[in-house]
Amino acid sequence: MAIYEIVPLRAFSDNYIWTIRDGSHAAVVDPGDAQPVLDYLAREKLELVAILNTHHHADHVGGNAALLARTRVPVFGPHDERIPDVSVRLADGERCTLPHFHIEMEIMEIPGHTRSHISFHGDGMLFCGDTLFAAGCGRLFEGTPRQMHDSLTRLARLPDDTRVYCGHEYTLANIKFAKAAEPDNRKLPELEAQMQALRNKDQPTLPSTIGREKATNPFLRVSEPAIIHSASTRATKKLLDPVSVLAEIRDWKNNF
């Protein structure tokens, strides 16, 4: 495997286009806009070798066509005709290997935010698009609370030191909500201070890790008594299962 690094390229107001690069080549995850990628490739004199797409939303795939017009590269993505550019469609448990870098990625289907959302996991990294965010999760546009719960539960089973590369810089707003959902979690004020310090320096708060998410993300903590309690208080009835708790706090966050 080649030595590489992961660089975030900013797009729109708060998207990250995660770029796997070495001295000569690059692969990009979720290029919602081609221009930041083209600028970066030109400036760094890199050749694009692959595109990875986690889901069909325009802020994740909108740059595919313009990148492909310059260089024909494989596009790895889900079985969803709404992303016509995908050349290698991948299902749960399948693997793909990034050209040039020879990094093997395992695919997980993680519906919830959208029905065909996938993640790429390999070499200690997880690219999870808009399903798992630092201290939060994606909105349920096409999925049910049960699907999101199952998807997050599967992601939470990855090793604690897995680095989590999310699609958006939502961390500080998510931590504010997490503090409301779990006021006694002492890790949250500490995390908020660390993340605020990064944002003050205009640095990304990502990647997170699976271990950090398990300790601080309310959507991964729906079986914790404190979260069950605050969700039940909002619902004005005792919520008895993790899926109902997730549904309640997702609705709460939507209106937070």
Contacts (CB under 5 A) with Zn ion, residues 128-157: 130
Q: Judged by CB, which is closer to Zn ion: 32, or 122?
A: 32
Contacts (CB under 5 A) with Fe ion, residues 145-174: 167
Q: Does 59 bind Fe ion (CB under 5 A)?
A: yes
CA–CA distance, 252 with 131 (Å, rounded to integer): 17
Q: Are 160 and 202 in contact (CB under 8 A)?
A: no
Q: Judged by CB, which is closer to Zn ion: 117, or 121?
A: 117
Q: Select from 33, 80, 109, 130 the one that contacts Fe ion (CB under 5 A).
A: 130
> Which span sits near Zn ion by CB under 5 A: 23-31, 50-58, 175-183, 207-215?
50-58
Residue 60's closest CA among 109, 106, 116, 143? 116
- Selection from Fe ion, Zn ion, none that 169 binds (CB < 5 to 8 A by kind) is none
CA–CA distance, 232 with 215 (Å, rounded to integer): 21
Q: Judged by CB, which is closer to Zn ion: 25, or 57?
A: 57
Site residue total, Zn ion (CB under 5 A)? 2
Q: Does 80 bind Zn ion (CB under 5 A)?
A: no
CA–CA distance, 105 with 36 (Å, rounded to integer): 24
Residue 36's closest CA among 5, 57, 55, 13? 13
Q: Does 57 bind Zn ion (CB under 5 A)?
A: yes
Q: Which residues are part of the catalytic machinery?
A: 55, 57, 59-60, 113, 130, 168
Q: Does 30 bind Fe ion (CB under 5 A)?
A: no
Q: Residue 14 Cβ, how far from Fe ion at the closest point, in Å? A: 9
Residues 6+ apart with CB under 8 A from 186: none
- Sign of the C-alpha dihedral computed for residues 194, 196, 201 and 205 taken in this order: positive
Vertex 80 angle, CA 244 and 114, to 5°: 20
Q: Judged by CB, which is closer to Fe ion: 25, or 117?
A: 117
Binding residues vs Fe ion (CB under 5 A):
59, 130, 167
Binding residues vs Zn ion (CB under 5 A):
57, 130
